[in-house]
Structure 1
Amino acid sequence: MAAFFVATFWAGLAQANCRLALVLALDVSSSVDANEYDLQRLGLAAALNAPDVRHAILQGGNGHVALAVYEWSGFNQQKLHLDWSLLRNHADIDQAVAILAKMSRSHDNFPTSVGQALGYGALVLKRAPDCRRQVIDVSGDGVNNHGYGPLAAYRNFPFDGVVVNGLVLLGESPNVADFYRNRILRGSGAFLIIANGFEEFKTAMTRKLFREINELAVGHLKHPNRTQGG
């Protein structure tokens, strides 16, 4: 019994000292081919492993960073690859990097259902440690073409206090940057990173993680909590 209370105390302390709960949502819709998927999978692992990102996680603020990663595509095609993991030391980061580098693609022939992806992310955040900030980081190369859109997700899922950032991969859709900028970004300080194709995914994700983890804000949305549209 005493051991139970000690474990509960330390678990509670770890959560109370969490500064950021970060969810990474990766596009695996049919527009992403096998080579692009590998660039995304290995690029994410390399970005998390980058020295500047490691330093930001371990030395960049008061408290830990908690990370979760899932893939998304169609209406019900989401897969959680990394459940909530506290990144408290280099060994924790090493373990997360190894899991992400070995991800196996969950789906490859479904459309782009961004609203459902965001709804799933909100539910993942409901199980997050009690952190001072909550951020969803959505990356993709296309606009919503199936199911309800992002703004409907924001109306019907728990997004209070959640910031949603975007990473756009150019090449598949001519309107993808505008779509992310106008429909997906949400919350004070939300921002968009644009990569010129999957070849730049690693560099773009490294910049994005560094900025998110350090809470670097360059400009703010005029309408941080949108409710209009579909």
Structure 2
Amino acid sequence: MIHPLLRCLGATALLVSASSAQASCRQALALGLDVSGSVDGTEYQMQLNGLAAALENHSVVTALLQPGAAPVHLAVYEWSGPDHQNLIAPWVRITSQTALSDLTTTLRHHARPKMDVSTGLGPAMLFGAELLRIQPDCWRWTLDISGDGIANTGPLPRDISLPDHITVNALVIGPGDTRPLGESQEETTGLVAYFEARVIRGADAFVEMANGFEDYEAAMTRKLLRELEGLSLVQAHD
């Protein structure tokens, strides 16, 4: 079933397409942020600020604003329980530094809504896939899921079906320094293995790892660069 908010956005996209010719985009990138009960208020803000800072990283900006290349489209949403997904930033065509700055300002000023505390990874992936569906004129579709735990409610990631053309990457957030070193490494290793086996999809899909929310900005920067660098106008047609 299509989420009501996405149905509205999809109708708007169709009206825009019908009224004006739009250039194709080289990549539609939807970023889903974990805001389940395991993420406290400080970690929530670190996640939003970390994503904003990663998008402002010089190398990421260069990759996004490649001269002569079609633009990248970005959307950001947050997720927790099966019926709790919230769109933070609808699709933005990153055609200028101004467009990017507007997006990062939105992220930094976003207030956390009241949401379920459970971890519905499967529904979060379905929401992201539906979000990507309303971007039909792109050359590549990428869904990013950030998470600090395994699914514990709703359809499990292994039980959902997604379109074959969507690549699903993940950013796993480990416990950082909140646990003894051995326990921390064991938990992070287990999370990475879970996301590799159950969540990511696509031939070139990958898992990036953050050593706690303190490391989120650096990990997100690495992930964005891996996804964006080299995706030029020429390569998109290969």
- What range is the shorter-chain TM-score in? 0.7 to 0.9
Give the letter for the 2:221 counterpart: T
SS in 2 for 1:13: coil
Displacement of 1:192: 0.8
Q: TM-score, structure 2 length as denominator?
A: 0.81
Structure 2 residue 122 is the aligned partner of structure 1 residue 115:
yes
| Range with greater deviation from structure 2 (193-202 or 121-130) | 121-130
Distance 2:169 2:212 in 1: 18
Distance 1:72 1:207 in 2: 22
What's the counterpart of residue 53 of structure 1?
60
Structure 2 residue 27 is the aligned partner of structure 1 residue 12:
no
SS in 1 for 2:140: strand
Q: Is the 8 A contact 1:137 1:165 kept in 2?
A: yes
Displacement of 1:209: 0.9
Alignment: residue pair count: 205
Q: Which consecutive unaligned segments of at least 5 residues does structure 2 have? A: 1-15, 176-183, 232-238
Q: Is the 8 A contact 1:28 1:107 kept in 2?
A: no
Provide the identity percentage: 40
What's the counterpart of residue 205 of structure 2?
190
The RMSD of aligned alpha carbons is: 2.0
Displacement of 1:205: 0.4
| Range with greater deviation from structure 2 (53-62 or 195-204) | 53-62
What's the counterpart of residue 206 of structure 1?
221
Which structure 1 residue ranges, 4+ long, deviate > 3 Å from structure 2? 7-11
What's the counterpart of residue 225 of structure 1?
none
Distance 2:80 2:68 in 1: 34
What's the counterpart of residue 97 of structure 2?
90
Distance 1:144 1:50 in 2: 31
Displacement of 1:128: 1.8
Give the letter for the 1:119 counterpart: L
Displacement of 1:38: 1.0
Give the letter for the 2:40 counterpart: D
Distance 1:61 1:167 in 2: 30
Task: Spell out the pairing of 1:133-172 with structure 2 (5 A cutoff).
Answer: 133-153=140-160, 155=161, 158-171=162-175
Q: Which consecutive unaligned segments of at least 5 residues does structure 1 have? A: 1-6, 217-230
Q: Residues 80-113 of structure 1: CA distance to partner in whole angstroms, max 9, x if unpaired?
A: 0110110001111111111111111123551111
Q: 1:135 to 1:8 in 2, by over 3 A?
A: closer
What's the counterpart of residue 178 of structure 1?
193
